[in-house]
Amino acid sequence: MSGARHIAFEERSKGTIEVEVDYVVVGSGAGGAAAAVTLARGGAEVAIVEAGAWRDGEHYPYSAYGSMRDLMDDWGSTVAVGRAFWPVVQARTMGGTTVINSAICVRTPDDIFAQWEKERGIGGLRDRVLAHQERIERELSVEEVPPAARGRSNLLAMKGAEGLGWDSHYMRRYVKGCEGTGQCLQGCRKLRKQSTNLNYVPETIARGGTVLSCAPVSRVVLEGTRAIGVRGHFVHPQTRAKGAVFFVRARKGVFVAASVTHTPVLLARSGVKSKMIGEQFRAHPGTGVFGCYDEPVDMNVGATQGWASTQFRKEPGLKLETLAIPPELVASRLTGAGVELMKRLAEYRHIAMWCHAVRAESVGTVRPAPFSDKPMVKYGLDRADMERFRQGMILLAKQHFAAGAKAIIPGIQGMPYKLTADQVGLLDDAPLDPKKYIAILSHLFGGAIMGRDPASAVVDGSGRVHGYQGLMVADASVIPSNLGVNPQHTIMGLASVFAEDALAA
């Protein structure tokens, strides 16, 4: 097929849809879009193949329910199985998770590059990645959350941090003129958040590329050890019915950027041989603490996430940040039912949610689920990480009280529903059983990690799969360590470097 630029769902009656390009990129999120646009700017003909649908801003949902239905991967039903079942947050839509995240921009810390060189034998990335990150910041209009969009929750967080003498800041985000509508989780209907469906994907099309949507890839097609394309079925975004077969032939190479959960599964299903596929899964487990205030906070007025502190990144290993969630998700975090739950929800306007992300040292695995094409994540926190987890809750509680909260809602099974300032010490003995907490996994890493030695890595320092030709990985699955900061900027920087290296090969 020639001349097509965006091919959406095609009915089964269409037979096989075939496209031929120089490079095919699986996934349109931070890694996939950054790789695709770099390749296109280098003169290559590129196809982006995205499992999810393309939705414009006016079609973004208003509710969390709608976000799970329209934008999340399989209704957000992927969970990490361990001592507890914790949800994994990922999108399935054009633009990937950049559509539903808070667009937080943090440059890769210098100690990470040093760690990769020492432990993985991967050097020479720092200057190249940082140069791309500077460019990306210009192109995606990175700005500090403006005063008019900060909202009271973020202002209170800054007040609490200053009262405790913490080093903190208002976030820098890929947002152009944030209006503070608090809709990041549902997709920014104001189109202020610079998700990749608004910039790098359209630019790739404008440079002669082709985009397939509603097109989950079932396998990378190999001829011997050379990747020659990808194959799959279109899937209807509402009925989930299978449509036509598609085959995208790649004259020069395939970039897999399907996410930390899907990339290892796709590689394994395609017959790629490496004992490290699916190994070294890492994440930022986290939870929130509600602060209850006398005056209304209205946490969904203002930037969804606008304040952060990385003071505790190295010791004990935490990132603290604000997070506003809509009423239906707040209800899921409050104990009780019926009249009691309604009474507690009546306090919604007066509560602020601040959360921690643990720089966990625990590792897990990603495998194909039995009798399914879905990923199966096995992951749990060891005692040291659970102690970090508890310490994060203690810090957030102290911050709320320093900001003037009259009480906190810790959300820990077996503890009082609310704690006052003189009861914070009870958190020192909070349980270390992960089943006692309502938590999520965000900021995922690993599963196809990079390293010089094929015995301990899936890809090399250019994202090339060891032992294969024309097969690259360009998402967070290559990251071999827990960054301790939001990973989108690192993902985009690495993907840009890998695409440059492919063009130069």
**Residue 441 reports pLDDT greater than 50:** yes
Give the chain's mean pLDDT: 96
DSSP secondary structure letter of residue 316: T
Question: Binding site residues for FAD, as ranges?
Answer: 97, 217, 487-488
User: What is residue 475's predicted lDDT score, i.e. its pLDDT?
Assistant: 98
DSSP characters over 269-310: HTT---TTTT-SBEEEEEEEEEEE-SS---TTSS-SS-EEE-
Please give the domain boundaries of the chain with CATH numbers for all domains: 6-54+93-103+106-139+195-278+446-504 (3.50.50.60), 144-185+281-441 (3.30.410)
CA distance 410 to 289: 5
Residue from 250, 186, 252 nearest 217 by CA:
250
Instruction: Report the pLDDT value the prediction gives residue 89, as an integer from 0 to 100.
Output: 86
Residue 336: per-residue pLDDT: 85
Nearest to 18 by CA among 231, 209, 220: 231
Q: Per-residue confidence at 2, pLDDT binned at 50, 70, 90?
A: very low
What digits encode the pLDDT tens for the residues 448-504?
999 999 999 999 999 999 999 999 999 999 999 999 999 999 999 999 999 999 999
* 194 vs 153: CA distance, rounded Å: 23
Residue 43 has pLDDT above 70, yes or no: yes
d(C-alpha 218, C-alpha 230), whole Å: 8
Residues 296-300, mean pLDDT to the nearest whole number = 95
Q: Tokens 């097609």 label which residue?
A: 221
pLDDT category, 3, cuts 50, 70, 90? very low
Amino acid at 112: I
**Among 137-146, 225-234, 286-295, 321-330, whose mean pLDDT is lowest?**
321-330
Checking if the pLDDT of 375 tops 60, the result is yes
Tell whether the model's pLDDT for residue 1 goes beyond 50.
Answer: no
What mean pLDDT is predicted for residues 240-266? Answer: 97
What is the pairing mode between strands 471-473 and 242-256? parallel
- Reported as a pLDDT band with limits 50, 70 and 90, residue 4 is low
Q: What is the pTM of this model?
A: 0.97
pLDDT tens column, 320-345: 999 999 888 898 888 888 999 999 99
**Sequence ranges of the binding site:** 97, 217, 487-488
List Cβ neighbours of 424 (8 Å cut-off, separation of 6 or more).
394, 397, 398, 401
Residue 225 Rama label (left phi>0; alpha psi -120 to 50; beta): alpha
Quickly list DSSP for 333-356: HS---HHHHHHHHTTGGGEEEEEE
pLDDT of 167 higher than 60: yes
